[in-house]
Structures are given as structure tokens and as C-alpha cells.
Structure 1
């Protein structure tokens, strides 16, 4: 199956949606469809699968939806799924991987690579040195979806911008109401969102509000 985007074209900024595969599948896919209509930069399948889940079945359904909107679909942490499913366009690591060169060799095709960063800038340096494609900071504000992420100080993101030209995403507790003020103090290119979109009655409309508020 042909890849829809090259790695270099894939992620620049905008709204990055993280979807929870433990959600009811019909609800998840309906919300994803509405969000794609609103305009997404990327979609990530969070590493939160229900026991016994058919991962490839959901990847195929989500991947076909994303492909129809020319939006890349990434998997969280489980990079071996990239080998098994061509509808996946990349991987998001929560931590620095043991051997990215070996992973790339085994996947044996171009893929997008991103990583989470908190207040420790080591992942930024690592990502820069290993030709990753973006960084996501977690969390800017307290959020149930952010899990164990520590709160990131604005100065950390500013320091990251001085270290790299890679797109910087921010996440955790960001809403249309606070996104504009955050943009004043933090040099980000995009916002990564889970519950702010997936719990909304109208994901398409809420994405437009995020974009308008942050000017992205």
C-alpha cells in the first residue's frame, strides 16, 4: 500500500489529535471523522488498548479515515506495529527509545518520529541529533488525559526553540479559552489534544476554536 505522505511533508504544526483506543469504537470513529473535517495535522493512537483488543482492525479503520483526509496516523510506543501495518505513518515515543537506528532498520521504510518532552530537555537534544520530526511537551496545565506528565514551565519550551527548528507541540489542559494566552508566552507550532476534542459534542467546531484562539 502506498504511503500518502513523505516523512518530510508530514507534520509542521496545527492540531494533533490523540485518540484513545479503549473508547467505544463507534463513538471513537464518529468523533474522529468529525475532527478530520475540522482539519487535523496528525492523529495518534494512544497506547491504551483494552485487553484482547484487535489492534489491526482499529488501525485499519482509523487509517483509512485518516488517509481519506491526507492526514498521517501514528502509533504510540509500539513501533513493531509499523512493520505489520502500512496504514501507520509513524511512531510517537513517550520516552527515548533504546536504539532508534535499529528500529529504523527493522521498519525498513520512511516513517514520522516524535517524542514527548517534559521539563528535561534531553529528549529535545536526542530528537534533534536523531532526525526526529517533532516534539510534544506534556503537560502545560493539569489534565486527566496527561497522566503522569509533570507540568512544563514556559521557559523550557523557549529553551527548546533555541535548540531546534523542529515543530513544537504543547499538550495537557489546553483549551480554546487558554490557548491564546499560552501562545503569547510559549513559542509553539501546534497543540496536541485528547479529551478537549474527543469529549466535545462537536469536534469539528472545537477544532476551529482551537485554531482561531492560537492562530495556528
Structure 2
């Protein structure tokens, strides 16, 4: 049985479930209209939150766009809520095999690598779907991440062909410059989209920067 979706790159949105629900869902709808490719729910819940109910509301918005919905860290939610398509780990889990046995269905799996090439190698060995590097720039929403150098991402590309996402302080402006320094397939964003007055337009700006021809631009400047 195949996994529900294939991750290739693009703009990856991380949702903070503590945001007021009507605002969260309205901004998610707007962002999806802009062309989001992946959505993750951050493991940061209000006390007493009805996690399943909120996940199912988010999933109902994502499904018509054929956008996979991932949960951060808590694999028991992946096991218990069929609306979820996968999980994103912040670090190597104790036993991925145990998690796969417990979930008992195909699912998407990604991991944050920070600056560790050992984690990249683990992701390749365990056939994960993508890796994410955080943080490329200083960022309040990625405050727990170490700063990752472009050279680290370049070295990681030798270890695996899987899709790379970069995260942490990414803007449409610094994204173009980063593309000139290292290879990656997509970006993961939290506040850069959800704090925007018009998430749809902000996503389109990220997409334009992500697809910009930096080779031609660099040649013109030489």
C-alpha cells in the first residue's frame, strides 16, 4: 500500500494550534489558495484542547487541495486520527519501527536535521520522505534551533537525494540569496505566513522567490 502523498518541495506551512481557531482556519484557507504543498500542526497545544476535533477541521480544509497534513512529534495522534497523513520529528525517535507497527498504515515521515549530518544519514537509511534544516536565519518561532550553515546543507546533498526544506527566518528576500549558496527543494514557514494580513499573497511571494532563476541572475551580475 502506497503512502497517501509524495513530498517534492514547495512551501510547507507549520500551524500553531494555540492561535484562535476561527483565525487559524481562515488563514489556513487563504494560504492554501496561494499554493501551499504541505501542512504540519506544531505540537504546541492549549491545555485541555480537543486535539482530534481541531485536526479533523484542518484536514477537511486541506483535503480538497490534495495537501498532506502532518502532526509534529506525537505519533499517538497519527495512530489515532486517520485524517492525519504523516508525522514530523524534531529529533530521531527511539524506535521508528515500533511507531510504524503501532500506526499500521503507510504515512509520510520527515525530520528536522539542524546541523547534524548523522541525522540526515539516519533519514536516508530509514527511507524518510524529506528532511528539514532549521534554522537558516535567526527566528523567534525557531528559537530552539541552532543556526545551520549553507555548507551543511550542501554537504547533506551528497548523502541523499530526498527533498530538502529550509526553515527559520526565511523571507522572500533572503530566500533568493540562499538559493545561490546551497541546494534545497522547499521552505518551511510559520509566522512568515500566518502573521501576514494576506497569507495567500504571501505564499505566492514565497513561491516566486523559490522558483526564481538565480543562475541567470548571478550571470548577469558577473
For normalisation by structure 2, the TM-score amounts to 0.93
Select the residue among 164, 171, 186 that pairs with 2:160. 164
Quick one: distance in 1 between partners of 2:143 and 2:75?
21
Q: CA deviation at 1:69?
A: 0.8
Match of residue 131 from structure 1:
127
For normalisation by structure 1, the TM-score amounts to 0.96
Match of residue 141 from structure 1:
137
Quick one: distance in 1 between partners of 2:157 and 2:195?
31
Select the residue among 46, 52, 56 that pairs with 1:50. 46
Unaligned runs of 5+ in 1: none
Match of residue 17 from structure 2:
21
Unaligned runs of 5+ in 2: 213-222
Q: CA deviation at 1:10?
A: 2.1
Match of residue 69 from structure 1:
65
Q: Secondary structure of 2:144's partner?
A: coil
Quick one: distance in 1 between partners of 2:87 and 2:5?
15
Quick one: distance in 1 between partners of 2:157 and 2:62?
29
What is the count of residue pairs matched by the alignment?
212
Select the residue among 183, 193, 197 that pairs with 1:201. 197
Q: CA deviation at 1:8?
A: 7.3
Match of residue 120 from structure 1:
116
Quick one: distance in 2 between partners of 1:142 and 1:44?
21
The answer to whether the 8 Å contact 2:132/2:167 transfers is yes
**In 2 relative to 1, CA 86–202 (structure 1 residues): closer, same or farther, beyond 3 Å?**
same
Return the index of the structure with the highest Cα Rg. 2
